Amino acid sequence: MPITLPPSAIRRAAAAGATVTLSLALAACGANFNAQTMKPYQPAEGTNASSGSIAVRNLMVLAAEDGAGELHAAVVNTGKTDDTLVSIASEPAAAPPQAEEGTEPAEPPATVTVGNVRPMTLAPGASLTLPPSSGKPFTVTGGKPGAMITLTLTFAKAAPITAHVPVLTTDHFTPTPRDDAPEESHG
């Protein structure tokens, strides 16, 4: 004798099956390569960049309002051979935007210079902290808090790293972007 179920039992079973299927489908939406947990997250103010086995972490400039500052970062060699940080230089500043008719011309961008840079050995599996623990700090002049500057770090073996670096106040707080900063500096 065949077993017959009342219509309400069939509806309940169908609803339970649909709920399980929908739960699995929704859970799978967040489990791919674009899932939020798979994306890098940087809680620090500075910039992260890599080149081969060299990783630069939390690269930033801490500067006074007059544009005099110091470069801060951690440079890590994850490779198996020594490398050397050879130089750090500022990229040429972008030309100011053309002034609209009837307005004053834009002020040319400040020239940023990096000083006291000297070759520093990066041992395998070790990190180099900037400013270095001994000797003079790497100075940066011309970058005012609230702006972004472009720096290129050159190594003996690894390819150069060019990064957009934030300039923060000496007390580590990010100021509001400057009104006189180029538009691309605003984020």
Residues 72, 17: one domain?
no
pLDDT at 2 over 90: no
Per-residue pLDDT, 40: 63
Look up the domain containing 24 and give its range. 7-38
pLDDT digit string (tens) for 86-136? 999 997 655 555 656 766 655 555 678 999 899 999 999 999 999 988 889
Mean pLDDT computed over 57-85: 94
164, 181 contact by CB (below 8 A): no
- Supply the mean pLDDT for the chain: 81
As to burial, measured by CB atoms within 10 angstroms (0-12 exposed, 13-18 middle, 19+ buried), residue 122 is buried
Residues 59, 88: one domain?
yes
DSSP string, 93-140: PPPPPPPPTTSPPPPPPPP-EEES---EEE-TT-EEEES-SSSPPPEE
Residue 154 located in a structural domain:
yes
Residues 71, 161: one domain?
yes
Residues 76, 166: one domain?
yes
Per-residue pLDDT, 121: 94
Per-residue pLDDT, 14: 85
Residues 135, 62: one domain?
yes
Total structural domains in the chain? Answer: 2
Mean pLDDT computed over 29-53: 74
Residue 2 located in a structural domain:
no
Residue 1 located in a structural domain:
no
Q: CA–CA separation, 8 vs 20, rounded Å?
A: 18
Residues 11, 90: one domain?
no
Q: What CATH number is attached to the domain comprising 72? A: 2.60.40.1890
